[in-house]
C-alpha cells in the first residue's frame, strides 16, 4: 500500500495532545493508531478487491486475512521490520502491509504475474515472501513454518556467538549468500488454531522452550479450521491451557481484534524475548468473517446467530469507532483516510492487471542454484598424493568409508564456521561436564561417524536433537535459509518419514517457490540399507527413488570410501540441499577402503564411475550392490568369458546419463540393479530411459535385478531371499548376455 499519510489537519491535533500528556494507549501515539487503522483498512480492502477479481476470473484463488487485521498490525508495531524475522501464515496480510509490503506486491501474486516479488507467479496469493523485510517464503501445508522459525531463531543466536561465520567466502556456497543478523533479533511465527494440532507445532514449542529461543509464537485463533471448531481440534478448547507448562515462555492470551491490547501483549512478549529470557506465546482470539476461503461457505456449518456474534467484534469497525470515540479521527478524517487507501488500491489493481504473465519457458528456472552447479568442474579435484603416504614414505593404511566421512566432516568444520551438526545421538556427550572431567569417552553417533566433533568444535556446533525427524529437517531448513550450513543426520533411513513433509514440501522448494530470493542449501546424511543379517524390517530400508522424485533435492549414494569423502565435500560446499545416503553395510567394509584423499578432494555430482569396463553387457548400479555386482561380473568373465561393464552411478540426482548411454551403445545390453524393492524403484526410470532413447541400440530387453516387493525380514534366510544377491546378479547377467 502506498504510504501517503492522512491530511494532518483532519486528525484531531493528535501530537499536541500526546505532548500534553494525554493518553498514549499502551505506548502507542495517536499517529501510530491512525497508521494502524490505515493498514487494517487497507488489508480488508485488498481482500475485498481480490474477491471481486476472483469473481471476475481475473485471479485464480483467494484467501483472506479478514478478522485478523488488528493482531497483525500490533505485531508489526512491536517488532522491527527488516531486523526481526517473520514466518507469517496466510492470514497475515495486515502484518505484512504494516511491515512494508504493498498492496501492489500482493496483487501481483494474486494475478500470478512474473513481477510477483514473492514467487514470480509460482505461489498462490497470501504466500508472503519479501527478503528485504525478512519475511521468509511460506507455503501451504499447515504448520511447516514453525520448525523453520525455530531454526531461524537459533541462527541469530549462533551468529551472535560466531560473528565471523557470517562473513562471505569465495569458492563455495558462501559466495552467494548474504548473511545478516542482530544479536537481539526476534523471530515471529504465526499459525491458526487448527494448526496447533500438527505435531510439528509441539516439536517447535519443545525446542524453543528447551533452548530458550527468542521466538514469538502467535496463534491466531478464529475458532475454526475450515469447518472444524476449536474444541474438536484442541482438548478442552483452549490452546493456552495446554501449552502453559512449557518452561521459560512468556504467555499472553488476548483479544486479537483489539489492536491496543494486542500491542501491549506483543510489547511484553518482545521484552521477554529480546532480553534473552526465552520464547513467547501470544494466543490471540480473532474472527473469520469471510469463510475459510472463497471455496468455502461457512453458512453450511455455522448458524447466523454465531456469525453475527463474531461480526460485532469485527476489528475494522471496532477500530473505526475507537478512533472516533477517542477523538483521534473524526468521521471526515476516517473518510479521507479510507478514500486515500481506496484510490491507491485502484491504481495498484490497474497496474497489477497490466503486469506481465510469467512465460512457460521459465518453469525450470531456480529448481537448483543458478550460481553453483555441483556437477561442474569446480567440484572435480584430485586426491592429494602426499596424503596417501605416511611420514616415512610408506603407503598410508586404507581408511573405511566411515573413517573418511568423519574426516571430511572434521576438515569441513575447520574450514567453514557456518557448519553445524545435529541429529539423534550425534554429540559425544550432551552432559558436557562428563567430557570435560574426562569421565566418559563420548559416543558421537550410533555408527560413531561424528565421534570427537563435539569435543573439537564445541557444543553449539555439534549437538543432539530430540528424537523428532521433522524437528531435525525443519530446523536445518530454517538455519540454511539464513545462511548456516547444517549437516544433519537422520539415524536410520527407516525413520526419515516424520520429516517427509519438510523434505518434500519445504527444503527442496525454498528456492524455486521464492523465485531464487531464498535458498536453503544443507546436507541431510542418512544411514541407509540392508544386508545386515538381522537388520529386519526397520533397519534395512532403502527407498531412494522416493527422494529422487523430488525436484530441487540432490541425492547421492556412494559405494566406497573415496567417493563418500569426495561427494560429501561437494554436498557441503555446494549451493543446493543434498540427501547424502550412507550405506550402513559399507561403513566398515573391506571393499572400497582408501587412503585419506586430503582436505579438498571433491567428486562432482552426476558423474558415474566405470568400475570395470567391458564390451558385452552394461550393468548399472550403485550403493551396496556395486561390490556384489563386481563379484558376479568377475565370475561371469571367468566362467563364460563374458566381459560386462560395471557402472557405479554414485550420484542419483543428477545422474550420469551420458556414461550409461555410451556404455549401452557399446554393449547393446543393459541390466539395472538396485537394492530397493523392484517395482517403481530407481532402476525403473533408468530402464525406461534406455528403452525410450536407446531402443535401436539394444539387442536384448532391459532387465532389472532388485529386492522382492516386500520388506526385509529378520531371519537371515529370509533376508537373503528378499535382497538381491551376487547369485541373482550372476544369473541375470548370464541370461542377458545369452539373449
Ligand atoms: C498439512 C495440511 N493439511 C491440510 C491442509 C488444508 N487446510 C488448509 S487451511 C486448513 C485449516 C487451518 O485452520 P487454522 O489453523 O485454524 O487456520 P485458519 O485458516 O482458521 O486461520 C486446512 C485443513 C493444509 N493446508 N495442510
Ligand atoms: Mg482457525
Kindly tell me if the per-residue pLDDT of 546 is higher than 90. Answer: yes
Active site (annotated) includes residue 539? yes
Ligand number nearest CA of 195 is 1
Kindly tell me if the per-residue pLDDT of 19 is higher than 90. Answer: no
- pLDDT of 23 reads 76
As given in the structure block, the three cell numbers for residue 414 are: 575447520
Which residue bears the cell 534366510? 717
Kindly tell me if the per-residue pLDDT of 258 is higher than 60. Answer: yes
Mean pLDDT of 314-333: 97
- Which residue has its alpha carbon closest to ligand 1 atom 12? 225
> What phi and psi, each to the nearest 5 degrees, are found at residue 144?
-70, -20
- pLDDT of 151 reads 98
Distance CA 409, CA 450 (A): 8
In Å, how far are 44, 98, 379, 451, 505 from 285, measured between CA atoms?
18, 20, 53, 48, 29
Mean pLDDT of 133-150: 98
Kindly tell me if the per-residue pLDDT of 577 is higher than 50. Answer: yes
Mean pLDDT of 647-664: 98
CA quadruple 379, 385, 386, 392: dihedral positive or negative? positive
Band the pLDDT of 387: cuts 50, 70, 90: low
Closest C-alpha to 188, from 209, 216, 221: 216
CA 468 to chain centre: 15
For the stretch 349-361, pLDDT in tens is 999 999 999 999 9
Closest C-alpha to 465, from 451, 457, 475, 479: 475
Q: What residues have CB less than 8 Å from 3, skipping those under 6 apart?
A: none
Distance CA 499, CA 502 (A): 5
For the stretch 27-77, pLDDT in tens is 999 999 999 999 999 999 999 999 999 999 999 999 999 999 999 999 999
Band the pLDDT of 3: cuts 50, 70, 90: very low
Q: Which residue among 95, 190, 226 is best mutated to probe the pocket of ligand 1, counting the most ligand atoms within 8 A of its Cβ?
A: 226
219 and 193 in contact (C-beta within 8 Å)? yes
Is residue 226 within 6 Å of ligand 1 at its C-beta? Answer: yes
Mean pLDDT of 574-578: 98
Distance CA 381, CA 33 (A): 61
How would you classify the pairing of strands 250-255 and 485-490?
unpaired
E-only strand ranges, 67-172: 85-87
Is residue 505 within 6 Å of ligand 1 at its C-beta? Answer: no
Q: Cα 374–379–385 angle (5° rounding)? A: 155
Q: Which residue among 67, 223, 225 is best mutated to probe the pocket of ligand 1, counting the most ligand atoms within 8 A of its Cβ?
A: 225
Is residue 91 within 6 Å of ligand 1 at its C-beta? Answer: yes
Q: What residues have CB less than 8 Å from 298, skipping those under 6 apart?
A: 224, 227, 288, 291, 292, 307
> What phi and psi, each to the nearest 5 degrees, are found at residue 406?
-60, -45
- Which residue has its alpha carbon closest to ligand 1 atom 19? 225
- Which residue has its alpha carbon closest to ligand 1 atom 25? 141
Is residue 196 within 6 Å of ligand 1 at its C-beta? Answer: no
**196 DSSP assignment:** G
Band the pLDDT of 570: cuts 50, 70, 90: very high
Mean pLDDT of 534-547: 97
E-only strand ranges, 57-132: 85-87
Kindly tell me if the per-residue pLDDT of 21 is higher than 60. Answer: no
Is residue 139 within 6 Å of ligand 1 at its C-beta? Answer: no
Could you tell me the strand order of the sheet in which 85-87 lies? 85-87, 187-192, 215-221, 280-285, 250-255
Distance CA 701, CA 76 (A): 64
Q: For residue 195, how far is its CA from the centre of ligand 1 (angstroms)? A: 6
How many alpha carbons lie under 13 Å from residue 262 in its C-beta half-sphere?
28
Q: For residue 366, how far is its CA from the centre of ligand 1 (angstroms)? A: 28
Ligand 1 atom nearest to 144, measured from its CA: 1
- pLDDT of 724 reads 98
Band the pLDDT of 478: cuts 50, 70, 90: very high
Is residue 500 within 6 Å of ligand 1 at its C-beta? Answer: no
* Number of separate helices (H) and strands (E) present in the chain: 26, 19
How would you classify the pairing of strands 228-229 and 224-225?
antiparallel
Q: Which residue among 90, 142, 217 is best mutated to probe the pocket of ligand 1, counting the most ligand atoms within 8 A of its Cβ?
A: 142
- pLDDT of 10 reads 41
Higher-pLDDT residue of 6, 151? 151
For the stretch 681-703, pLDDT in tens is 999 999 999 999 999 999 999 99
In Å, how far are 164, 187, 357 from 161, measured between CA atoms?
9, 17, 45
Kindly tell me if the per-residue pLDDT of 234 is higher than 50. Answer: yes
- pLDDT of 395 reads 72
Is residue 532 within 6 Å of ligand 1 at its C-beta? Answer: no
For the stretch 238-249, pLDDT in tens is 999 999 999 999
CA 236 to chain centre: 32
> What phi and psi, each to the nearest 5 degrees, are found at residue 583?
-75, 120
Higher-pLDDT residue of 8, 242? 242
The active-site residue, picked from 272, 539, 549, 583, is 539
Could you tell me the strand order of the sheet in which 462-464 lies? 462-464, 419-423, 485-490, 523-528, 578-583, 554-556, 651-653
How would you classify the pairing of strands 670-677 and 617-621?
parallel
3-state secondary structure of 646: strand
Mean pLDDT of 411-417: 98
3-state secondary structure of 6: coil
Amino acid at each position: 500500500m502506498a504510504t501517503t499519510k492522512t491530511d494532518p489537519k483532519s486528525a484531531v491535533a493528535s501530537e499536541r495532545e500526546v505532548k500534553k500528556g494525554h493518553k498514549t494507549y499502551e505506548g502507542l501515539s495517536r499517529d501510530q493508531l491512525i497508521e494502524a487503522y490505515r493498514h487494517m483498512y487497507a488489508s480488508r480492502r485488498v481482500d475485498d478487491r481480490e474477491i471481486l477479481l476472483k469473481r471476475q476470473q481475473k485471479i485464480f484463488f483467494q484467501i483472506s486475512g479478514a478478522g485478523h487485521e488488528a493482531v497483525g498490525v500490533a505485531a508489526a508495531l512491536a517488532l522491527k521490520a527488516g531486523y526481526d524475522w517473520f514466518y507469517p501464515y496466510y492470514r497475515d496480510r495486515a502484518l505484512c502491509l504494516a511491515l512494508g509490503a504493498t498492496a501492489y506486491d500482493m496483487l501481483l501474486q494474486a494475478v500470478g504475474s512474473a513481477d510477483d516479488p514473492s514467487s514470480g507467479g509460482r505461489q498462490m496469493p497470501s504466500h508472503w515472501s519479501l527478503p528485504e523485510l525478512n519475511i521468509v517464503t511460506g507455503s501451504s501445508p499447515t504448520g511447516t513454518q514453525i520448525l523453520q522459525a525455530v531454526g531461524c531463531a537459533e541462527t541469530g543466536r549462533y551468529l551472535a556467538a560466531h560473528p565471523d561465520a557470517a562473513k562471505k567466502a569465495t569458492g563455495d556456497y558462501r559466495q552467494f549468500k548474504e548473511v545478516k543478523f542482530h544479536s537481539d533479533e526476534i523471530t515471529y511465527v504465526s499459525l491458526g488454531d487448527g494448526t496447533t494440532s500438527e505435531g510439528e507445532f509441539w516439536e517447535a514449542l519443545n525446542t524453543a522452550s528447551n533452548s530458550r529461543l527468542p521466538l514469538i509464537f502467535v496463534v491466531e485463533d478464529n475458532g475454526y479450521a475450515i469447518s472444524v471448531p476449536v474444541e474438536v481440534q484442541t482438548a478442552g478448547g483452549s490452546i493456552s491451557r495446554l501449552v502453559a507448562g512449557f518452561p521459560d515462555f512468556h504467555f499472553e492470551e488476548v483479544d486479537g481484534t483489539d489492536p491496543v491490547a494486542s500491542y501491549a501483549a506483543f510489547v511484553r512478549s518482545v521484552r521477554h524475548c529480546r532480553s534473552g529470557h526465552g520464547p513467547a506465546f501470544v494466543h490471540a482470539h480473532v474472527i473469520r468473517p469471510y469463510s475459510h476461503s472463497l471455496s468455502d461457505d461457512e453458512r453450511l456449518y455455522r448458524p447466523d446467530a454465531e456469525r453475527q456474534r463474531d461480526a460485532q467484534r469485527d476489528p475494522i469497525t471496532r477500530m473505526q469507532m475507537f478512533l472516533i470515540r477517542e477523538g483521534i479521527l473524526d468521521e471526515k478524517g476516517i473518510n479521507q483516510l479510507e478514500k486515500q487507501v481506496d484510490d491507491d488500491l485502484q491504481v495498484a489493481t490497474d497496474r497489477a492487471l497490466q503486469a506481465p504473465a510469467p512465460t512457460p519457458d521459465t518453469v525450470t528456472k531456480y529448481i537448483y542454484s543458478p550460481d553453483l552447479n555441483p556437477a561442474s568442474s569446480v567440484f572435480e579435484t584430485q586426491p592429494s598424493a602426499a596424503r596417501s603416504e605416511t611420514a616415512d614414505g610408506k603407503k598410508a593404511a586404507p581408511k573405511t568409508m566411515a573413517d573418511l566421512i568423519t574426516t571430511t566432516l572434521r576438515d569441513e568444520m575447520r574450514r567453514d564456521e557456518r557448519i553445524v551438526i545435529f541429529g539423534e545421538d550425534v554429540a559425544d556427550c550432551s552432559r558436557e561436564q562428563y567430557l570435560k572431567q574426562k569421565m566418559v569417552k563420548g559416543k558421537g553417533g550410533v555408527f560413531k561417524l561424528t565421534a570427537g566433533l563435539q569435543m573439537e568444535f564445541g557444543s553449539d556446533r555439534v549437538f543432539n536433537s530430540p528424537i523428532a525427524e521433522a524437528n531435525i529437517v525443519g530446523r536445518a531448513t530454517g538455519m540454511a535459509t539464513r545462511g548456516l550450513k547444517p549437516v544433519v543426520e537422520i539415524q536410520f533411513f527407516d525413520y526419515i518419514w516424520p520429516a517427509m513433509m519438510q523434505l518434500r514440501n519445504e527444503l527442496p522448494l525454498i528456492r524455486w517457490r521464492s523465485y531464487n530470493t531464498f535458498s536453503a542449501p544443507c546436507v541431510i546424511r542418512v544411514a541407509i540399507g540392508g544386508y545386515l543379517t538381522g537388520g529386519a524390517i526397520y533397519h534395512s530400508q532403502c527407498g531412494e527413488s522416493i527422494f529422487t522424485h523430488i525436484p530441487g533435492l540432490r541425492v547421492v549414494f556412494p559405494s566406497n570410501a573415496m567417493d563418500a569423502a569426495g561427494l560429501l565435500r561437494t554436498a557441503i560446499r555446494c549451493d543446493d540441499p543434498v540427501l547424502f545416503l550412507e550405506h550402513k553395510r559399507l561403513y566398515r567394509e573391506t571393499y572400497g577402503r582408501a587412503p585419506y584423499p586430503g582436505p579438498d578432494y571433491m567428486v562432482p555430482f552426476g558423474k558415474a564411475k566405470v568400475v570395470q569396463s567391458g564390451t558385452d553387457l552394461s550393468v548399472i548400479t550403485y550403493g551396496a550392490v556395486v561390490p556384489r555386482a563386481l563379484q558376479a561380473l568377475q565370475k561371469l568373465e571367468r566362467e563364460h568369458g563374458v566381459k560386462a561393464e560395471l557402472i557405479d552411478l554414485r550420484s542419483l540426482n543428477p545422474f550420469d546419463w551420458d556414461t550409461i548411454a555410451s556404455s549401452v551403445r557399446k554393449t547393446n545390453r543393459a541390466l539395472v540393479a538396485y537394492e530397493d524393492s523392484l517395482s517403481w524403484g530407481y532402476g525403473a526410470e533408468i530402464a525406461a530411459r534406455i528403452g525410450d532413447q536407446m531402443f535401436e541400440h539394444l539387442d536384448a530387453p532391459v532387465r532389472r535385478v532388485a529386492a522382492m516387493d516386500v520388506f526385509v525380514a529378520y531371519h537371515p534366510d529370509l533376508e537373503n531371499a528378499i535382497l538381491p544377491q551376487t547369485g541373482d546378479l550372476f544369473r541375470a547377467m548370464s541370461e542377458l548376455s545369452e539373449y
